[in-house]
Chains A and B, each alone.
Chain A
């Protein structure tokens, strides 16, 4: 995303981030939706199936409700004091004990392995601690139906792209459609494009490669710098969780905009120790972090501008959807001065958007 963004391609709908309700605290390891599909329950610290006992809007669907609503319900349950506290923050229970060993071994063997290995819990006898974890970016590099961007010859497909089969929310497994259908479409279109395209200006390409090689060489063993990679990465995690998490507020999102802009400045001045040209993973990590900070800033800026709640973007201070003012795609353009916002019309197609009621 950052590569396309810096090359002048806008990122679309970056504020829409899907949280998955059932990740392990600390590691964030995902416990599959199939646990709830097979009949698993979510329980609070009183042992209650809170999705049934309290009104979270998912109604009879309870544990089979959508990811965003269940994630919000868990956060509310924890804020109401009905969660558990642990070394890696508050959590609730995913209870599979009533399914029995046979179902768990046959249908969910990997869940049992993960729970035993990473939280020391056997789900046959004991509930698994879980909390919502960041899962998927609905937004990404703006592409058309062929995976093509506005930059001729640059294609994107998969989670990095935003071809808009998802909107402000998404269904599980649509990632496969994004990869397989639009990956193939992008490859075919790119092939046709490259056959018809001129060879390009070789000297310009070489100059660009040399510039990029210089950027990497400057990072390698950059001992003059100010801060460690790990310190900035941790801070970025905390900033994004606090400002653009399951629930958002104007104040916190604005703080996120300011903090990510500052991090963008700081991440340009990293301190690196590894001078080797062989398998230098520190340089890769530094490049990744610089990209992450840039992407995080587009996310915060997009989120803060959307003063409504839509799909996965849930604001405590703007609780309803506002089609009058915000029924459009958010576009973020790269600018030396900082991210610049724009809009793009939504193609609604067959179905008129309606309020989600269960």
Chain B
């Protein structure tokens, strides 16, 4: 056990004009994650500290915070990766609701805008059976899955938005995770929504706003490569546009 000073950024819109820092002395066990220290503060030292967390196994994506200035999934980040003093702030590039809790609405709207579901031109069972008469409805080979599987591992933790220099300057930028998600469905062999999503990707503040800083892929706790998705999406969106020019009714 080692005592560490955990500095939490506090902000209550009912009371505070601006965020303030509060220090806590926390007896940390060596196998703790950063989230364990924040939970210790909440449980034992100050019940008014507000933060989000749920699964504490790097699946739900709700405990993202800035740890010593870097976006981290706190349930997956060892406390022993840091020294005696750890600075914990809300995720950068998001409006703060309270303490370590940020506003999600803008992020959720970005997600919805890329139509993150399987779009089918035809939804009748007979048509589906005709698509794969021998393999059954919606069948997909391991090779087809492999084209997008890594992009489907995103847990929506928003660390990539906190790290992205474009989001910092241009808050409306669609951003890494939403583009990677749209691209994931474009790559899905069962999906027929490419044209709709590519039209979105050709719009303002989407794939072509990316400056390829690669920060998103650096901070991803699930080893997704959103920067690759953004650049693949750029290419697809252009090819799709060119095809439309040559074959206005979508071709084959």
Contact = CB atoms under 8 A, between A and B. Distances in A.
Interface of A: 26-27, 29, 87, 113-114, 117-118, 120, 228-230, 272-282
B97 A279 contact: yes
Interface residues of B, number: 21
A114 B46 CA distance: 30
Interface string B30-64: 01000000000011101110110000111000000
Given A27-B57, A230-B43, A278 B14 contact: yes
Given A273-B48, A278-B13, 13 more contacts: A29-B56, A87-B31, A114-B58, A117-B76, A228-B44, A276-B50, A276-B98, A278-B14, A279-B50, A279-B99, A280-B50, A282-B42, A282-B48
B46 A273 contact: yes
Contacts of A113: 58
B181 interface: no
Contacts of B12: 276, 278
A122 to B, nearest CB: 16
Interface in B80-110: 97-99, 101
Contacts of B43: 228-230
User: Majority SS of interface residues in chain B?
Assistant: loop
Contact of B57 (A114, A272, A273): A114
Contacts of B99: 279
9 A-B pairs with least C-beta separation: A230-B43, A274-B48, A273-B47, A279-B98, A282-B47, A29-B57, A278-B98, A273-B48, A279-B50
A113 B221 CA distance: 11
Nearest to A234: B43
B124 interface: no
B57 A276 contact: no
17 contacts: A113-B58, A117-B58, A118-B57, A228-B43, A228-B44, A230-B43, A275-B48, A276-B98, A277-B14, A278-B12, A278-B14, A279-B50, A279-B99, A279-B101, A280-B50, A281-B42, A282-B48
Contacts of B57: 27, 29, 114, 118
A88 to B, nearest CB: 9
Nearest to A110: B59
A276 B48 contact: yes
Contacts of B13: 278
A272 B98 contact: no
B47 A274 contact: yes
- Name, among A26, A117, A228, the residue most crowded by chain B CB atoms within 10 Å (CB to CB): A117
Nearest to A88: B31
A275 B57 CA distance: 30
B14 A276 contact: yes
A273 B42 CA distance: 10
- Name, among B44, B47, B58, B76, the residue most crowded by chain A CB atoms within 10 Å (CB to CB): B47
Contacts of A280: 50
A352 to B, nearest CB: 36
B15 interface: yes
Interface in B122-161: none
A205 to B, nearest CB: 29
B95 to A, nearest CB: 13
Nearest to B52: A281
Nearest to A274: B48
A120 B76 CA distance: 12
Nearest to A286: B47
A89 to B, nearest CB: 14
Nearest to B36: A27
A229 B47 contact: yes
B126 to A, nearest CB: 23
Nearest to B222: A113
Given A229-B47, A276-B12, A282-B48, A27 B98 contact: no
B47 to A, nearest CB: 4
A113 B120 CA distance: 35
Interface in B1-47: 12-15, 31, 42-44, 46-47
A252 B130 CA distance: 62
A220 B14 CA distance: 14
Contacts of A27: 56-57
Contacts of B31: 26, 87, 120
B15 to A, nearest CB: 7
Nearest to A26: B31
Nearest to A273: B47
Contacts of A229: 43, 47
A152 B51 CA distance: 37
A277 B99 CA distance: 13
Nearest to B76: A117
